[in-house]
A and B are shown apart, each in its own frame.
Chain A
Amino acid sequence: MALIEKQAVDKIEIVSEFKHVQVRTATIIERDGVEISRSFSRSVVNPGQDTSGQDADVQAICAILHTEELVAAYQAHVTAS
């Protein structure tokens, strides 16, 4: 019997005018190749946030969406609020 635990980003959502990237990571446990457990954890990548520790797909999406203009607009919004 082999138990394997692995993690995978299984959902990426883009929300709000500032294009926050919501990332869901699934922790999957398999017994002999059959999934027996799946749990979730979440995080949000805000415009301008360091993405070096993120999944490659998340990095690619943020690189496209989080332009300098968007980051500046978001920072101004945060300062104002």
Chain B
Amino acid sequence: MLKTVSTQLALASDTLSEILANGNTSGGTDLAISTGDDITLADNSKVIFGAGSDLSISSDGATGQLTGNINVTGAGTFTSTVASAGVYLGGVVAANLLDDYEEGTWVPTHSGMNATGTVTVSGTYTKVGRKAFITAKISATGGLSPVYNGGSRFQSLPFTGGTCVANWCVENAVTAAASTFSDGSSNIYAPTVTVGADVTLTMNMTLEV
């Protein structure tokens, strides 16, 4: 016999799950919500998960509240697709908002490297908030001999920003020195090095953008 909500409520032994089963074609007692239908809770009412209330979801009247320790498992990721959105870490003021993260590549141009043989250049960057971590790499099978302050430099940086100091890694280097980057410029000058054949010169710099 098909029961209706009113007849079920009139029976002391009836349960909510039994009522919910009415119209559930699977015959189970799970709460199934049809497409386009909702579960509506008033402000400060919660959906609580776990015997120990491990997780609750609610609204305080202004902001959604997700309370509890969260583990994202499987292939799950957090996604924030709105450009101005982000994640607050350690506080809720502007200084705590991580609102930009990006990884990518760029194509360095160079001059004055005195590169010979087959020359290969590549560049990568990672931007976290207002800091950009930039790498440029040049390889030359016949050798490199950039001269500091002699116009040897990487150009076409992926970001424009303030003053920074670059660190250089040079295989087979004879000497190497730090180099600086001027505000508003797009050049990063190479250190004084003399290197042998089949060498790679790598620049790592941090830039505030």
Contact across chains for B160 and A42 when beta carbons are under 8 A apart: no
Which residues of chain A in 34-71 are interfacial with respect to chain B, using CB atoms and an 8 Å cutoff? 39-44, 46
Closest to A74 in B: B184
Q: Is the pair A81, B182 in contact by a Cβ cutoff of 8 Å?
A: yes
State whether A81 and B185 are in contact (beta carbons under 8 Å apart), knowing that A39-B104, A41-B106 are contacts in the complex: yes
Establish whether residues A44 and B157, one from each chain, have CB atoms under 8 Å apart when the complex forms: yes
Q: Pick from A40, A44, A74, A78: contact of B105, CB below 8 A.
A: A40
Number of A interface residues, CB 8 Å? Answer: 18
Closest 3 CB pairs of A and B: A40-B104, A42-B158, A81-B182
Q: Name the A residues within 8 Å of B183 (CB-CB).
A: 81
Q: How far is the CA of A64 from the CA of B125 in the complex (A)?
A: 29
9 contacts between A and B (CB under 8 A): A24-B102, A39-B105, A40-B105, A42-B125, A43-B106, A43-B107, A44-B186, A77-B185, A78-B184
The residues in B between 73 and 107 inclusive whose CB is less than 8 angstroms from any CB of A are: 102-107
**Main SS at interface, chain B:** loop
Q: Which residue of the partner chain, among B104, B159, B184, contacts A81 with CB atoms under 8 Å? A: B184
Which residues of A have CB within 8 Å of B125?
42
Judged by a CB distance under 8 angstroms, whether B66 is at the interface is no
Q: In the assembly, what is the distance between CA of A42 and CA of B161, in Å?
A: 14
Rounded to whole angstroms, the CA-CA distance of A20 and B161 in the bound complex is 10
> With an 8 A cutoff between CB atoms, is B44 at the interface?
no
Q: How far is the CA of A46 from the CA of B103 in the complex (A)?
A: 22
* B104 close to A43 (CB less than 8 A): no
Cα separation A8 to B41 with both chains bound (whole Å): 43
CA distance in complex: A17, B160 (Å): 11
What chain B residues lie within 8 Å of A17 (beta carbons)?
Answer: 184
| Interface check A15, CB cutoff 8 A | yes
Say whether A42 contacts B184, CB under 8 Å. Answer: no
